[in-house]
Amino acid sequence: PSFIIKRLTEEANKPENHKYSPYGGCQEFREAVASFYQKNYQVDLNPDTEVLTLIGSKEGIAHLIHAVINPGDGVLLPDPGYPVYQSAVHLAHGHSVPFPLNETKGYVPDFEKIPVHDLERAKLMLLNYPNNPTGATVELDTFIEAVEFAKNNQLCIAHDAAYDLVTFRGYESPSLLQVPGAKEIGVEFGSLSKSFNMTGWRIGYVVGNKELIRSLTIVKSNTDTSQFLAIQKAGATALTSDFTSVNQNNEIYQKRMEFVLSALQELGMEAERTKGTFFLWAKVPAGYTSQGFAEFVLEKAGVILTPGTAFGQRGEGYIRISLSVPTTRLNEAVDRMKNMKRGGATS
């Protein structure tokens, strides 16, 4: 959005921004995150101890795992889930413990079904709503249950809220920190990448538990020195804006979603209409595996679909469609897939 670029260029022109940022991020950005939490979720945060600037939430998630676990410790991960969780656990010499997200349960964890021996070795649980790749969303009661479960089993929770503002059809996503006592065991990751179209800028944050944030700050202060001050200041402008640009984008995603949903129907494929994220999680046609179907469509139509198995074993039987390109481009992809179905030639 142009108002964010405007602030970036203004700040980039000021010599005082061409120095190292404080390790934890600049004051203006951390205060903007705290005011965003107050306005959006009615959650109070101390900007000095409960907010930390990240070079994108991916960086923070990977480093938090390093900060929290010792070699051999378990980390509970959603399956299907964002692949970085598993790689970060691997890089920290931890042990990935997948828990299933089932369609029948609305892709919400069935906490009671997580085996005791998995819980005994686990230190941390990752959650992500609105969910990548399934598009699933939750109400606050899921987080209430998660916090209680974590406290009963001596776990920390890291909630990845990368799509917190990418929501439609009247849905507003809750924050983990709205649960009373969540700060005792949990942190929440936020990102400006998706909601403000700032993917390449590398700016995000983590909020919540002080001790977890302090540990992450120690790891980070030995690996980076936070983000360019001009980017943090432009990020503060984004977070304290009136979200007109966010709402405009959400309308666009919603239109694209309706377009692709009706095209999928014509193709004889099923997908659920979601209330968050810009992904559609569609079932592959009978007789195909996820990878087999993705390869078939790539070869016959030159269209890339992400096989569900890229997100874990439980992704088998699904493909993920991203709505991050304009409708004209989606139309082209759909036309080619329809052509492929008719057995027509592809170029």
Ligand X SMILES: *Cc1c(COP(=O)(O)O)cnc(C)c1O
Residues near ligand X, by CB under 6 A = 56-58, 82, 128, 132, 160, 162, 191, 193, 199, 204
d(CA 175, CA 160): 10
Nearer CB in complex with ligand X: 199/248: 199
Smallest separation, CB 36 to ligand X (Å):
15
d(CA 256, CA 280): 10
* φ, ψ for residue 74, nearest 5 deg: -90, 150
Nearer CB in complex with ligand X: 126/260: 126
d(CA 234, CA 193): 13
Nearer CB in complex with ligand X: 232/301: 232
- Tokens found for residue 1: 């959005």
Smallest separation, CB 108 to ligand X (Å):
16
**What distances in angstroms separate CA 74 from CA 44, 99, 299, one per listed residue?**
31, 12, 39
Smallest separation, CB 277 to ligand X (Å):
8
Nearer CB in complex with ligand X: 201/337: 201
Pairing state between β 122-128 and 74-79: parallel
Residue with tokens 């101890």: 49
Nearer CB in complex with ligand X: 22/83: 83
Name the 3-class secondary structure at 318.
strand
d(CA 246, CA 241): 10
Smallest separation, CB 168 to ligand X (Å):
17
Nearer CB in complex with ligand X: 193/254: 193
Taking the CB of residue 193, how many other CB atoms lie within 10 A of it?
Answer: 19
Torsion of CA 111, 280, 140, 142, to 10 degrees: -10
> What are the residues whose beta carbons fall under 8 Å from the beta carbon of 120, sequence distance 6 or more?
none
Smallest separation, CB 336 to ligand X (Å):
26
- Tokens found for residue 105: 């349960």
Nearer CB in complex with ligand X: 27/199: 199
Smallest separation, CB 80 to ligand X (Å):
11
Given a contact cutoff of 8 angstroms between Cβ atoms, the answer to whether 41 and 174 are in contact is yes
Q: At what angle do helices 290-301 and 327-341 cross, to 10 degrees?
A: 100
Given a contact cutoff of 8 angstroms between Cβ atoms, the answer to whether 162 and 128 are in contact is yes
d(CA 320, CA 307): 6
Smallest separation, CB 57 to ligand X (Å):
4
Smallest separation, CB 225 to ligand X (Å):
18
d(CA 95, CA 125): 12
Residue with tokens 């203004």: 10
Nearer CB in complex with ligand X: 92/119: 92
Smallest separation, CB 82 to ligand X (Å):
4
Nearer CB in complex with ligand X: 132/301: 132
